[in-house]
Amino acid sequence: MHEHGAMDGHSLLLPFDTDDPEFARGFEAGRVWALLQLKRDESCEVVVHVANAEMAIRMGEATGRRVHGEESDDGHWITLNFESATGCEAQAD
């Protein structure tokens, strides 16, 4: 399994049928984007591969959220906390 498949003893429920890292990045980014859209009024925490950190931060900015992150000890993953979009709007007023 490629590097996106295991994290701290966890693995994919359904392994991808390709080892293309760009496919994995796109899939992960799509999951983050969907979560940010579905939980617009809530803060969200996600763990993403460091290869997707910049894209996830850009998604936070595009949805009007402040983003805070912390890289894992192994340097492969980052935990990102997205503030609620509505909370950020209220603070900007």
Are 44 and 77 in contact by the 8 Å Cβ rule? The answer is no
- Condensed to tens digits (0 to 9), the pLDDT of residues 43-92 reads 999 999 999 999 999 999 999 999 999 999 988 999 999 999 886 654 54
- Distance (Å, whole) CA 89 – CA 50: 28
pTM listed for this prediction: 0.74
Strands 10-11 and 6-7: antiparallel
- Distance (Å, whole) CA 66 – CA 83: 5
Report residue 93's pLDDT band, with 50, 70 and 90 as the boundaries.
very low
Number of H helices, E strands in the chain: 3, 5
What are the residue boundaries of the structural domains of the chain, listed by start? 41-93
